[in-house]
Amino acid sequence: MKKLIFILLLTSTLAFSQQEASVWYFGQNAGIKFETNSSVTPLSDGQINTEEGCSSIAGTNGNLLLYTDGRTVWDRNHLPMPQGSLANGTD
């Protein structure tokens, strides 16, 4: 019975997972997108050019919202956001 409950909990977690972390931008204009069918799509349209300290945020549906290298914040269209220059970023 415990195994059945564990399997049901595990299955429900996978079935209802959200996609906020499905898009990653990093390195030199590189990125990847984790698709809902378990495939991975390479991306090359990002504006990040850094070796460290980057972050990407997607919505619950997996669509990119914004990303940053710690100095600049870009929107889903890869354009700097208003007030998107961060004072604490390093060169």
Output the pLDDT for position 78: 92
CB count in 10 Å sphere of residue 75: 14
Separation in Å, CA 37 to CA 44, 57, 63, 65, 79: 21, 20, 15, 21, 29
Q: How would you classify residue 20: left for phi > 0, otherwise alpha for psi between -120 and 50, otherwise beta?
A: alpha
Output the pLDDT for position 87: 58
Output the pLDDT for position 17: 56
Characterize 10-29 residue by residue with b for buried, 16 or more Cβ atoms within 10 angstroms of its Cβ, and e for exposed. eeeeeeeeebeebbbbbeee
Indicate the helix (H) or strand (E) that contains 30.
Answer: strand 30-34
How far apart are alpha carbons 79 and 76 in whole angstroms?
Answer: 7
**pTM of this structure:** 0.64
Output the pLDDT for position 12: 56
Q: Residue-wise pLDDT tens for the chain (91 aa)?
A: 677 676 766 665 555 556 777 888 888 888 888 887 888 999 888 888 887 888 888 888 888 999 998 888 999 999 999 888 875 655 5
